[in-house]
Amino acid sequence: MCSLGVFPAPVTAAQTLFERNNELLSALHPGEHSQACDLPSPQFTRDTLKGHSRPESSSRSVFLDQRDTLWMRSAGAWRDAGLYGLLDEITNSAEEVPRFLAVGSACVLALLRWASSFHGSLFPHLTLSSDEMVAEFSQMLDWSDSALRSFAWHPHTDKFAVALLDDSIKIYKSNSSPTPTLKHRCQRSVCALQWKPLCGSALAVACQSCLLIWHVDPASLSTRPSSGCAQVLSHPGHSPITSIAWSPTGSLLVSASPVDTSMMVWDVAAESAVPLQRVGGGGVTYLSWSPDGSRLLAATPSALFRVWETRMWTCERWPCLKGSCQSACWSPDGGCLLLSMQGERVIYALTFSDLTGINNTYSSPVTACQLLLILKGFSSLSALLNISVGGEVCSLSWDPRGERLAVLLKGRADNHPSVIAVFKTRSSPVFELLPCGFVMGEAGAEPRFMQFHPHFQHGALLTVCWSDGRISHVPFYFSSAGLLGGDSPQQALASNTTNPSSNKLYTEQIS
């Protein structure tokens, strides 16, 4: 149990710049300079981006109402809204059709509505529209309102991809080379992005209707790669896609949709998919592959999540205590999984017994699911501003060395903003969590999404997407555990070079 009051409150409400000497320093801190790293931090405002305003089917309201023949209207309804639309159209135009047809279609319609409401009462998320569903299950907080839709660091180089409100994706690199903009006809309502590991160019994009794999040549100077560079992967009934995960070796891609009870395992080069179906839960919302590639977490919209073992693809069911699994992150060695549940201020930990490929037994890998931490209470940030923070945990992120854990706490109405709390973690000899501090943005900006840089040299680097459309980077300068006393970034760098295991390739961890 941990009270947020223990956290060292920032002195001022200004933007947090970086951590040094175990202190989070802010912009107004005396004697500190501005931004320490040379990564691009672009800002996008809602005004400059124009999203596609509304789905095509509702553009009818713009035009004058025109009376067609019944056949034309029925065909149009069938095309736009399927069987429902057709039945609705027939029922509505009762004076033009024979009486038995109108009555029959009304009955069928009522029956269908009753059945779907029954189905929807079992799985409430099925009643949402496609956009609402994406907004509900996206890792980006306030997805529908935000100028930024998704964000992803490249696992090996200093470049990241940002999905924007206008359904385009921009790719930024550390040096000021041109920033390619990716647009595609099928690229609507981007919910997740992920770069392919061990590959320089492939970016997977989870869209509303399909899955796009962009091949963006890093050496090319073009700012608008043609849509021929994108592979479109789609499967009937598998949309909207809300989560994707590459295997750490980059050989397989898994995609999930809250509507589809099966998740798809794609062989991207061959464009073939293997569905893995488990009916319970009513869909799959979130996927996360463990860094060593041996396990895969699949969360469902119900109070249930599964941990798949990726050798023979069998799974374990974990009926949760309360609410669905909202977010999760794996420890860097793949032995521990942290989970947060919807509507709870609790982080759970799932510990897996360490197993190597020697005996190949996967009988009972999980030893315990324990309550790790309860984030109780509120902390009043600043007496001057009268702001207090604290709330349900909606996103978790662990840095690749396993030393900092960032927790995004959801806010409420006024004077109660969302905030990122950062913990120091240590896994040996015993698992420890120590409060480190709050990461603050500029005045009025709330964090929406965060991700750690996969291979930052001098410690950890947290990238945060803010509600005002800014992307900022917060470095944490520290030396690895066991080598205490490295205070300056230079010393941290020196201690890092003596410890080459810090940024291992995934494959080395496997073997």
Amino acid at 320: C
Residue closer to another protein by CB (options 312, 430) is: 312
Q: Return the number of the residue (311 or 322) whose C-beta is nearest another protein.
A: 311
Q: Is 314 in the site for another protein (CB under 8 A)?
A: yes
CA separation for the pair 295, 378 (Å, rounded): 35
Instruction: Report the alpha-carbon distance of residue 245 to residue 263 in Å, rounded.
Output: 11
- Written as six digits, the tokens of 17 are 């710049």
Name the residue nearer to another protein (CB basis): 136 or 309: 309
Q: Evaluate the omega torsion of the peptide bond into residue 42 and state whether it is cis, within 30 degrees of 0.
A: no
Distances (CA, A) of 114 to 111, 117, 119, 274, 357: 5, 5, 9, 33, 51
Strands 262-267 and 253-256 turn out to be antiparallel
**Alpha-carbon gap, residue 348 to 371, rounded angstroms:** 5
* Sole binder of another protein in the list 28, 83, 274, 374 (CB under 8 A): 274
Work out which of 24, 163, 210, 265 binds another protein, going by CB under 8 A. 265
Which runs of E-coded beta strand occur in 154-294?
Answer: 159-164, 169-173, 181-182, 192-195, 202-206, 211-215, 230-233, 243-246, 253-256, 262-267, 272-277, 286-289
491 binds another protein (CB under 8 A): no
* Coil, strand or helix at 347: strand
User: Which of 279, 282, 328, 331 is closest to 307 using CA atoms?
Assistant: 328
328, β-bridge pairs: 339
236 scored as a contact of another protein (CB under 8 A): no
Contact with another protein (CB under 8 A): which of 32, 68, 145, 267? Answer: 267
- Residue 207 carries which DSSP code? -
Q: Does 269 participate in binding another protein (rule CB under 8 A)?
A: yes
Which residues lie below 8 Å from residue 407, measured CB to CB, with a gap of 6+? 340, 347, 375, 393, 395, 396, 420, 421, 422, 423
Taking CB under 8 A as the binding criterion, the range among 60-68, 167-175, 267-275, 399-407 that sits at the site for another protein is 267-275
Query: Dmax of the chain from CA atoms?
Result: 87
210 binding another protein? (CB under 8 A): no
Site for another protein in 142-201 (CB under 8 A): 198-199
C-alpha 319/C-alpha 338 separation (Å) is 15
CB of 198 to another protein, least distance (A): 5
Q: What minimum distance in Å lies between the beta carbon of 250 and another protein?
A: 6
Please, which of residues 292-311 interact with another protein by CB under 8 A? 310-311
CB-facing half-sphere around the CA of 364: CA atoms within 13 A:
3
Q: Which is nearer to another protein, 23 or 271 (CB)?
A: 271
Answer for which of 249, 380, 491, 502 binds another protein (CB under 8 A) is: 249
Give the nearest distance from C-beta 171 to another protein in angstroms: 20
Residues 354-413 that bind another protein (CB under 8 A): 356-358, 360
Q: Which is nearer to another protein, 360 or 497 (CB)?
A: 360
Does residue number 252 form part of the binding site for another protein (CB under 8 A)? yes
Q: Is 217 among the residues that bind another protein (CB under 8 A)? A: no
Q: Taking contact as CB under 8 A, which single stretch among the options 54-62, 99-107, 448-456, 503-511 is the one that binds another protein?
A: 503-511
Judged by CB under 8 A, does residue 259 bind another protein? no
Nearer to another protein, 85 or 200 (CB): 200
Sites of contact with another protein (CB under 8 A) = 198-199, 231, 249-252, 262, 265, 267-270, 272, 274-277, 310-314, 356-358, 360, 505, 507-508, 510-511
